[in-house]
Structure formats: structure tokens, C-alpha cells
Amino acid sequence: MNIRAHAGASETPPELSTADFEAIANFALREFGLSLPASKTQLVKSRLARRLRALNLPNFAAYRSLLEGPNGQAERNELLSSLTTNVTKFFREIHHFEDLLRDVMPQLVARACQGERVRIWSAGCSSGQEPYSIALTALKCHPDIATKNFKILATDIDPSIIVKAREATYRDDEIAAVDKKIFRVSDIVRSVQVKEGCFTVSKDVRSLVTFGVLNLIEELPFNGAFNVIFCRNVAIYFNRETQQSVWSRFSSLLPSGGKLFIGHSERIMRADQPKLEPCGVTVYKKL
């Protein structure tokens, strides 16, 4: 029996006072843009109780001191991971990839073949399945796309998830779970087996994607535009004001006709963003 785990599980978690909750919520809003209303108190308490146990801290006040102190950087990443999810999968929300393959990619490929610069951004890419799905879609449309000025930028706030994304190694069952509407398994498994039960995305797919750590609520370090932006299941954590600011900045980075793909439970109101016209299920076109 794992005595430590057993002892930890039976301990009563420390109380999360209103003051501690508000301080942690303000910290998460300021640092990551996360919105934590009072209704999330129990969730925050149970998720962070695990961190207190792991760090052997007596209470949430000690946790706050660690977070805000000079040695808090590593724990800030743990805090974010505890309060958000990295859940993602290959070809998640398959209708976006159908749209990409049918309506978007042929035009982008044609432009890249004429020597134009083409850039796609996967913002909040988690462990990489989203940008690799975009790369696979591009390769399905044009197998030589890597020889053109065609790049996918993939960013996330969480440095540890970016390490995982760069490794590009996934369980075999992630491929088995892919919706087969447009992609056959043979389209997708452009991969090499590294060990039993796992595969690594092949070099030609990986070479299309550049990863980086980027917090979406901070100033964005881009000069050029993006033809397409994917930012799915990320803004759901932000309050309305932060969402508006993120949509506005995306809008200014898209050229006329550029497309923005967002998550299934996210919406952009036309009144708030008149230049982003809905053109599909959770897809918007820059006017």
C-alpha cells in the first residue's frame, strides 16, 4: 500500500478563506487572464489542495507567499495547469478541418505556390495535436508544401506542454479515435513507431510547425499577419473583457478574408467585433 498517498488522501484540506481565494483569483487574472468567479471557490480549493500537499505547505496563505515570491515561477506554471485543462486531440471538431481542407487550404496553397508568405497560428496549442492536424491537412492538400514559404506557428502559455508538443509523441489510441470523415488512418499516421503503443509525428509534418511559449494576454510579438488563426477552447477561461481584447488583436492580425476558428462553446458577438463575420460553425471571416 502507498502509505503517503493513503495518509494524504485522508487529510482534511485546509480552509480557503475568501481573502485567499480573492488573492489567488486576482493573481490568475493578472498573470494568465483566467476568470475565477466566487462560484469556482470549491474547484480552486480542491485543485490547489493537491499542490499544498505536494509542496508540504500548511495553508493557502503560505501558497500565496510562494506564488508571489521570487521562487514562484515554477509554481505559477503548476497553478495554471491546476486551474485549466490541456485536453486536446487530433482533428478535434472535425468540421473545422473539413472547412480548412475544402475552402481554405486550396487558396493558401495556391498563394504559397506563387511565392507568397502563408502563416497559420494555433494559439493555445496545448500538446500539439491541433497544429499537427493543421499540418496534416496542408500536406493532404499539397504534399510538397514544406518547400514553400508556408509555416504554422503554435504557442501556449505553459512551457511544459510546449516541451511535450515538440516531442510529438502520442499514444496509438489517439489516432484510432480520429473521426474518419475526411482523413483515413493512412493519411494521419505519417509517423514512425518509437515504442509499443506510441508513435512520433514524422519529420515532414513537424518541420511545418514552429512552437513557442506565449501568454495571449500579454503584448503579441508579431509584425506580419496570419492568414488563419486557430484559438479554440482557450478564451473560455477568460472574462468578457479579456476575450474582447484577444478577439480584437486577432482581428487586427488577420488580412481581409483571413479566418478565425474558435472553440465549440465560444462565441464572438457581431456587435463587439463588426469586422469578424460569422461564416460557419465557430468560424469567422475578417471583412
* Residues annotated in a binding site for S-adenosyl-L-methionine: 86, 88, 92, 130, 156, 215-216, 232-233
The distance of closest approach from Cβ of residue 260 to ligand SAM in the complex, given in angstroms and rounded to an integer, is: 13
Where does this chain touch ligand SAM (CB under 6 A) — which range of 5-13, 100-108, 157-165, 254-262? 157-165
The per-residue b/e assignment along 174-187, b for 16 or more CB within 10 angstroms, e otherwise, is: bbeebeeebbeeee
272 is catalytic: no
The distance of closest approach from Cβ of residue 123 to ligand SAM in the complex, given in angstroms and rounded to an integer, is: 7
* Identity at 66, one-letter amino acid code: L
Among 77, 215, 244, 248, binds ligand SAM (CB under 6 A): 215
Is 156 a binder of ligand SAM (CB under 6 A)?
yes
Catalytic residue among 47, 76, 111, 267: 47
Of residues 233-252, which lie at the interface with ligand SAM (CB under 6 A)? 233-234, 237
Where does this chain touch ligand SAM (CB under 6 A) — which range of 58-66, 113-121, 150-158, 177-185? 150-158
Query: Rounded to an integer, what distance in angstroms lies between the CA atom of residue 84 and that of residue 96?
Result: 23
Residue 27: in which H helix or E strand, if any? helix 18-32
Is 100 a binder of ligand SAM (CB under 6 A)?
no
DSSP SS3 for 279: strand
Of residues 249-268, which lie at the interface with ligand SAM (CB under 6 A)? 263
Is 86 a binder of ligand SAM (CB under 6 A)?
yes
CA dihedral 108, 170, 168, 103 (to 10 degrees): 0
Among 88, 137, 227, 282, binds ligand SAM (CB under 6 A): 88
Q: Please tell me the count of residues contacting ligand SAM according to CB under 6 A.
A: 24
Catalytic residue among 20, 99, 156, 158: 156
Between helix 73-83 and helix 159-167 the angle, nearest 10°, is 70
Residue 167 C-beta-side C-alpha neighbours within 13 Å: 14
Look at residues 78, 98, 92, 89 and name the one whose alpha carbon lies nearest to residue 32.
78
The distance of closest approach from Cβ of residue 237 to ligand SAM in the complex, given in angstroms and rounded to an integer, is: 6
119 is catalytic: no
Sign of the four-CA dihedral 60, 66, 69, 72: negative
CA 69, 71, 77 angle in degrees (round to 5)? Answer: 100
Cβ burial, residue 268 (10 Å; 0-12/13-18/19+): buried
Where does this chain touch ligand SAM (CB under 6 A) — which range of 138-146, 196-204, 231-239, 266-274? 231-239
Strand pairing report for 191-195 and 198-201: antiparallel
Strand pairing report for 209-213 and 150-156: parallel
CA distances from 239 to 52, 99, 246 (A): 27, 28, 11
Binding flags for ligand SAM, 32-71, as an x/- string (CB under 6 A): xx--------------------------------------
The distance of closest approach from Cβ of residue 122 to ligand SAM in the complex, given in angstroms and rounded to an integer, is: 7
Where does this chain touch ligand SAM (CB under 6 A) — which range of 35-43, 61-69, 80-88, 188-196? 80-88
Q: Which residues bind ligand SAM (CB under 6 A)?
A: 32-33, 84-88, 92, 124-126, 130, 156-158, 161, 215-217, 232-234, 237, 263
Report, as residue numbers or ranges, the catalytic residues.
47, 156
